[in-house]
């Protein structure tokens, strides 16, 4: 792929007050069934969380920016949780995270670390251009591990074939597969956070990607409405 997919993404002005995007796009990356080095780093992150927070209620301040984003968009974050919160709650409830593959495990770690929802998409299955907007009545998709994800009134990414991602649950269509070589990783950044925070996220994310995922090339980006 000669051009980066993220350059085709635009944000609808109606979501400007709630969210902007920060992310990385990886080309010629190899998806491993299991990467012990990444899993070791993930376990350290889990242990640090459990040492700091005895229960999900104690992590309320950590959850608040993403919850603010959902409330600003008109979504109840206690009924539909940001994926970053769902991961941390699972950890603090003493449950194990599902080990998926090297790419998904790596970005689960980063989502936990940054307290930001992240969407992961196989660029081979995204048909640009892409717009980020609120879902319309009747819109939805088969989710990863879910029969159907209803997107009405919820933030979503939409390409020429329809919606394929949101900050709670991504679609099965664009999931990361064993044969995936192009990955678009999108952090949904609550607009209440300063851009400097997003730049810090991108710097740390880029370093992690280079060290642990070894793509042939990658680019980082920030997108505002």
**What is the DSSP track for 102-148?**
HHHHHHHHHHHHHT--EEEEEGGG--S-EEEEEBPTT-EEEETTEEE
Q: How sure is the predictor about 146, in pLDDT bands with cuts at 50, 70 and 90?
A: confident
3 state SS of 186 = strand
Q: How far is CA 42 from the centre of its chain?
A: 16
Residue 145 pLDDT class (50, 70, 90 cuts): confident
Q: Tally the domains of the chain.
A: 1
Q: Which of 17, 114, 115 is nearest to 66 (CA)?
A: 115
**Residue span of the structural domain in which 192 resides:** 5-223
Residue 66 phi, psi (nearest 5): -65, -35
2 pLDDT above the threshold of 90: no
Tokens, residue 172 = 């099965």
CB 194 within 8 A of CB 13: no
pLDDT 10s digits, 157-188: 999 999 999 999 999 999 999 999 999 999 99
Q: Is 216 helix (H, G, I), strand (E, B) or coil?
A: coil
Average pLDDT, the chain: 97
Residue range 34-79, pLDDT digits in tens = 999 999 999 999 999 999 999 999 999 999 999 999 999 999 999 9
Q: For residue 64, report the phi and psi dihedrals to the nearest 5 degrees.
A: -60, -45
Q: Please report, for the domain that includes residue 109, its CATH number.
A: 3.50.40.10
Lowest mean pLDDT among 1-10, 81-90, 99-108: 1-10
Smallest Cα–Cα separation from 103: which of 40, 44, 163, 39?
A: 39
Q: With the CA atoms of 209, 224, 87 and 49 taken in that order, what torsion angle do they form, in degrees rounded to the nearest 10?
A: 70
- Return the percentage of the chain with pLDDT > 90, whole number: 97
């Amino acid at each position: 792929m000669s051009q980066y997919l993220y350059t085709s993404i635009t944000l609808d002005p109606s979501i400007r007050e709630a969210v902007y995007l920060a992310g990385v796009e990886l080309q010629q990356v190899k998806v491993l069934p299991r990467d012990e080095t990444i899993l070791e780093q993930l376990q350290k992150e889990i242990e640090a969380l459990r040492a700091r927070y005895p229960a999900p209620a104690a992590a309320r301040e950590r959850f608040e920016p993403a919850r603010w984003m959902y409330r600003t968009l008109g979504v109840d974050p206690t009924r539909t949780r940001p994926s970053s919160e769902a991961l941390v709650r699972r950890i603090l409830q003493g449950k194990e995270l599902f080990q998926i593959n090297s790419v998904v495990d790596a970005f689960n770690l980063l989502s936990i670390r940054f307290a930001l929802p992240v969407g992961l998409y196989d660029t081979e299955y995204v048909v640009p251009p892409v717009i980020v907007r609120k879902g319309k009545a009747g819109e939805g998709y088969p989710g990863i591990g879910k029969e159907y994800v209803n997107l009405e009134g919820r933030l979503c990414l939409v390409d020429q074939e329809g919606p394929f991602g949101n900050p709670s649950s991504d679609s099965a269509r664009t999931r990361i597969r064993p044969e995936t070589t192009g990955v678009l990783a999108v952090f949904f950044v609550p607009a209440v956070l300063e851009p400097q925070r997003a730049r810090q996220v991108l710097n740390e994310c880029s370093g992690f990607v280079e060290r642990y995922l070894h793509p042939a090339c990658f680019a980082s980006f920030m997108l505002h409405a």
